[in-house]
Amino acid sequence: MEDNLKLSNPKQTIEIIQKYNFNFKKSFGQNFLIDSHVIDKIVRAAEITKEDNVLEIGPGIGTLTQYLAEAAGRVVAVEIDEKLIPVLGETLAEYDNVEVINEDILKCDIDSIFGGESFKVVANLPYYITTPIIMGLLEGKSHFESITVMIQKEVADRMKAGPGTKEYGALSLAVQYYAEPYLAANVPPNCFIPRPAVGSAVIRLKRLIEPKVSVKDEKLLFGLIRAAFMERRKTLLNAVKNYREMNISKENVEAALTEMGIDTRIRGEALTLEQFAALADKLSD
């Protein structure tokens, strides 16, 4: 399709919205892209080729989908809003490699979509469910290679943050345990209609073949991390002590830290993923 006829041209988007008398639903996080440069950046960051299967979450009226269809072998787009299904029927009519499924992505059996073949996830995500979607994919068993998504800038910063920064937290560690993050672009509100209240960013998470650290008890690792950041101003020792979901004594943590040569007054926000894993291993012995 010629670029000026695509929905990334704001004129085309407005025309189709008026034609279908479409009302944006805030509750579904509907902010549609209207900037071809941003869409190009998303598709480039996702490194899509004609060999690729792509899962798009929330195609909206099909703006990003039109570009994905031209770059990929096959695209499956899952959209919760039934009002958008007839719109997508029109805007994607000329692409025979796109399938639209009217479902809630959080209830979808993702692996059955591509019959066990690998796929890349690409989306301008509905921001209200960014974390459940991404953590569901990372912790799940589906065969995705990478996730390239538009999310809130503040959440992207947290995903790629390292120790000792104010953005560093349980989300950074959970994401970096499974994937390698790369910030592909910062995107201002005027690239969408309606404009979101916050800045956005495109982040790519490439799945690691093995988790970044090997640990005897994954549940214990993430329990420790959760405890450490529940009260991030406290020392790790005091944060763990106050966290009743974990059956770990302050004395054991103190002994493990000393054995590791780490100051026992350290805060969780100063520990690397490797140090959290080593601590979890010592505590599970």
Task: Please report, as ranges, the residues that interact with ligand SAM according to CB under 6 A.
Answer: 28-33, 57-60, 63-64, 78-81, 104-106, 124, 126, 129
- Write down the least CB distance from residue 5 to ligand SAM, Å: 16
The smaller minimum CB distance to ligand SAM, of residues 129 and 185, is found at 129
What is the 3 state secondary structure string of the chain?
CCHHHCCCCHHHHHHHHHHCCCCCCHHHCCCEECCHHHHHHHHHHCCCCCCCEEEEECCCCCHHHHHHHHHCCEEEEECCCHHHHHHHHHHCCCCCCEEEECCCHHHCCHHHHCCCCCEEEEEECCHHHHHHHHHHHHHCCCCEEEEEEEEEHHHHHHHHCCCCCCCCCHHHHHHHHHEEEEEEEEECHHHEECCCCCCEEEEEEEECCCCCCCCCCHHHHHHHHHHHHHCCCCEHHHHHHHCCCCCCCHHHHHHHHHHCCCCCCCEHHHCCHHHHHHHHHHHHC
Minimum distance from residue 37 beta carbon to ligand SAM (Å): 14
Which residue's CB comes closest to ligand SAM? 58
Nearer to ligand SAM by Cβ, of 40 and 281: the residue is 40
CB of 108 to ligand SAM, least distance (A): 8
Choose between 126 and 268: whose C-beta lies nearer to ligand SAM: 126
Nearer to ligand SAM, 101 or 255 (CB): 101
Q: Please, what is the minimum distance in Å from the beta carbon of residue 117 to ligand SAM?
A: 21
As measured in angstroms, the least distance from the Cβ of 64 to ligand SAM is: 4
Residue closer to ligand SAM, measured from CB, 60 or 169: 60
